[in-house]
Structures are given as C-alpha cells and as structure tokens.
Chains A and B, each alone.
Chain A
C-alpha cells in the first residue's frame, strides 16, 4: 500500500477506509491514493464531507476508522516528519490577523529545519506580498498566496488546499490555477477541494467526487468526463432517455439530462462539463 504503480514512488497520500460518524452526517469508507506530481481535485457540494475528509486526514478530527499514510509514513503516528513535508492551506482560516507577516513568518520558519529564506523571498516577490502587511490587510487571494509561500518555503512536497478558490474573483482564481500548474511542473503534488469545478477543468489530472459522505468517483479527469454525456431536451424527455437518466435538471431551454456514455449512443448528446456532471448527479441523489 502507498506505492504509486506508475512511478514506483511512495504515494504522497494514501487514505484507506476513512470513516467518521456525526449525529447528522456520516463519512463512509473513503479510500484513495494520490499520484506524485499530480493535481487532484476533490469535488462535491457544500456539506458533502470534503472538509471533514481533509480534517480527518490531518487528524484535526479523530476518524472512527481508517488508515492514513503520507509518503509511506503512518499518520498521525509520524506526524512531525509528515508535517515537514506537507503544507495545508484553508481559505476559511486566517491566522493572527493583526500581526505583521514578518512576525508570523519568523515564528513559522523556526519550526522547519528545511526552511529556505531564498525560496521564501522568491515567492513573496512573485506573489507581490510585502512583509510589513498584516493578514487583515490582504485580500482573500493574497492570504492564500501567503499561506502557499510559507508552505513552499519549508519544502512542502504535498499541498493540501481546502476550498482555496472560494470567494475569489475569476482573475485571482486563474492566477491560483497557474500557480498550481507551476507547482506540478516542479514535481509537487497538489490536492485541493472545491465546488468550483471550472477551476479543475483547467488544471486537474484526477477527480475525486464525494457525495453525501461517500466517494462516488475516483478517476482521471478525462475518463471521468468521458463516462458521461448530456442531452438537451427542449420539451418532453423521451421515456427511454428518462429511464437511463442519472439526473435531470431544468434549463432555460427545457431540460438537460445526464446519461452514462455507455448507454447514450441512441440519443443526441454532447460532452458534459464537470459542473454539469456534478449538478446532475447531486440532483439525482436529492430525488432518491
């Protein structure tokens, strides 16, 4: 377990049978393995369990069952070694809003033996960040960039990002997507959760789709998209199509119907976007 079969390298992250019970929500038996040097998108609607999965992966919440390893090291047993090799960035969290970035950096760097001041300065300059500012003075996009600069300066090989593009304008989101692609080119692994699927279409190699606490799909982006077709029906939906449908949504022109590609040959269809696939599958789940 934990070896990537294509590269023979130890997987940056292996999650096996992760479960967590809450009174109103269950995360059930989530398992996946990340490939080194890839970008993996973790999608699902709000409340699907993306943040719970990440929090359980990082032991912020204690999972009821499951095994987690980073770079072949069991977690949380080897947490110190692991945390030196990973970076976690969450859009919802801003640390020490009134402290200068220089003060936060000075504290942070003291914990990492591999900290590289040159790399830090490079990223601060590239991201247009000044150390005399406080997090309260930064935009949401800049806060994410600062958190990334910290993670990259201690040599994080795996970046785990929870909703990094949420609340950002399209230009800022595009900038972040470009940063992720650059990080991938440098050989780092990026794992990020989002419900803004259009960002993933631009950069992700692989998709994990979480629905109501269960991992419904774990596939390459293209394979995932190619597994589905979308039919547009201006008026009535044919009965044959209705029976094969995996989600029907209202549209301005009538209805859109998601069909498994293997059974869609008989109908006029087009490629479905990631967003359309997610919306239709969620719609289907709501109706069940």
Chain B
C-alpha cells in the first residue's frame, strides 16, 4: 500500500466527521420539487469544512507530520479524500436523478432540472469549491473558517447565477434546462466540460495547496 493510500485511510479513520457520511445523502433533495439542486453539493462542501475543522481540533497536522510522509503527501491525501466524498455525492445525485426521471420528472422552477446537465453543474460547483477552499485553507490551516467563507460565497454566487440563467441565458434556458433526453449531446458536452474542470481544478488545487503548505510555518 503506498503512502497516499495509507494517508487517505488515515483521513477516513481519524479525521472523518459524521457529516461526511450524512451530507452525501442530501442528494436525495433532488426528489423535492422546486429546489435549487446545486445546493445539494454545498452540503457536502460543509462536510469537507467539518473534516478540516476536526483535523485542526485533533492536532492532525502535528500527528501527520511526525509520520514518515512529506507535507505534499499530507495535502494531496486530504484533498483526494475530500474529492472521493465529492464523487460519492455526484454518484448519489446521479442515482436520484435517475429515480426522479423514473417516477416522473417535473420542470424545476428553481434552477436546472434534475437531468444529466445537473451533474455537470455539480462538478463545476465542486471544482470551484476545491480551487478556492483548499489553497486558502493551506495558507493557514488554523483558519478553515476563512477559507470556507470565501469558497461558500463563490459557490452561492454560482448557484444564484445558474438559477437566474435558467430564465435569462438562452443556452441554459432552452438547452440545459430542458427535460432529458432532449439536447442530450449538448448536455453531455456540458457535463464533460464540468468533469474536465473538476479534474483539472482539483489537480491545480493540490499543486497550489501543497506549495503553500510546504512554505508555511506551523504553530503546532
């Protein structure tokens, strides 16, 4: 088992906050009619914040850095662990989108409909969160609140823009916010774009966060 896998195991066994198990289940809110479904992703962002808070309260950095691992490994493992939670959330969202389409999907007046494009939207939200939260957090791991505030503002601005866009932006209103399987190729393209941003944004976040953490004086 390589170092990263061991560290991800450590995150799960020692740093996981109960909300990390509960919040992905908020994907079930997709079954609620007239709800801004992008908010389902925000609940998981909240769980990630709690994981980082738990880590701080338990002197996780001091423990981890006495293990035979580098600072870069510690950062990479934490972000990958949170990314796994995000992927689980996206998978559950996919499941509930499927279920909603099976039991009868109604148009959503509060943002994107429960369809394939919503998954792409979720990936953009997580990419945005990862690109802001982790680099700010790893500038000073004792202040996760500031990082979460900045990332939350960005996520909510995106969700608000997306809700407004479903009424005002033609591509959103007339293509992405239409019931599946209409305009499926455009929706798949959007979702693939979201996936690309999610992967590239998270990879960038790891690099930037690791550089910041490597330079940081830790008041342990």
Contacts and interface: CB of A to CB of B under 8 A. Distances in A.
A112 B59 CA distance: 20
A83 B218 CA distance: 18
A58 B3 CA distance: 20
Given A55-B218, A62-B215, A110-B9, A93 B59 contact: yes
Contact of A103 (B13, B65, B69, B220): B13
Contact of B69 (A88, A90, A97, A111): A111
A99 B14 contact: yes
Contacts of B68: 79-81, 83-84, 111-112
Given A93-B59, A96-B63, A106 B220 contact: no
Interface in A143-187: none
B14 A88 contact: no
A95 interface: yes
A94 interface: yes
B220 A93 contact: yes
Interface string B44-71: 0000000000000011101101111110
Contacts of A88: 66
Contacts of B219: 61
A55 B62 CA distance: 10
Interface residues of B, number: 24
A94 B9 CA distance: 20
A238 B62 CA distance: 52
B6 interface: yes
A119 interface: no
Interface string B1-18: 101001001100110000
Nearest to B54: A96
Interface of A: 55, 58, 60-62, 79-81, 83-84, 87-88, 90, 93-97, 99, 103-104, 106-108, 110-112
Interface of B: 1, 3, 6, 9-10, 13-14, 58-60, 62-63, 65-70, 215-220
30 contacts: A58-B65, A60-B62, A60-B65, A60-B217, A60-B218, A79-B68, A79-B70, A80-B68, A80-B70, A81-B68, A83-B66, A83-B67, A83-B68, A87-B66, A88-B66, A93-B62, A94-B59, A95-B62, A96-B58, A96-B60, A96-B63, A99-B14, A107-B13, A110-B6, A110-B9, A111-B3, A111-B67, A111-B68, A111-B69, A112-B68
